[in-house]
Amino acid sequence: MNIIGQSLGIDIAAKSFQVCLQIKQADGHCKIKGSRSFPNTAKGIVALEQWLAKRLHSELALAVVMEATGVYYETLAYSLMKRVIGFTFYFLIG
């Protein structure tokens, strides 16, 4: 399986956030690598980073798509920007 891309979708709320990690194959097919809910706390962010470390392809950039509602997304966004190398953020403001 030749993987050419990976993306992480994040839906944020005050108390939790849900993530879905997807990979794109060279033949154009996309597959879900995993999804999970985390508490929107410092411990939840650390748990997400550990979860990602087991699933990401380190040689590929990561596209992060996050719903930016209110201020709930800020701590997670800043944390990912500091710790995850080789990614692009896309914020959906609604």
CATH number of the domain bearing residue 34: 3.30.420.40
Determine how β-strand 3-12 pairs with β-strand 16-25: antiparallel
pLDDT, tens digit only, all 94 positions of the chain: 799 999 999 999 999 999 999 999 999 999 999 999 999 999 999 999 999 999 998 888 888 888 877 888 889 988 888 776 666 777 666 5
Distance of alpha carbon 38 from the chain centroid: 12
Task: Name the packing angle between helices 74-83 and 42-55 (round to 10°).
Answer: 40
The whole-number pLDDT of residue 68 equals: 75
pTM of the model: 0.86
- Cα(21)–Cα(1) distance, integer angstroms: 17
Residue 12 · residue 69 · CB < 8 Å: yes
Question: Residue 76 is part of which domain span?
Answer: 3-93
Q: Is the dihedral of CA 79, 88, 24, 19 positive or negative?
A: positive
Please tell me the total count of domains within the chain. Answer: 1
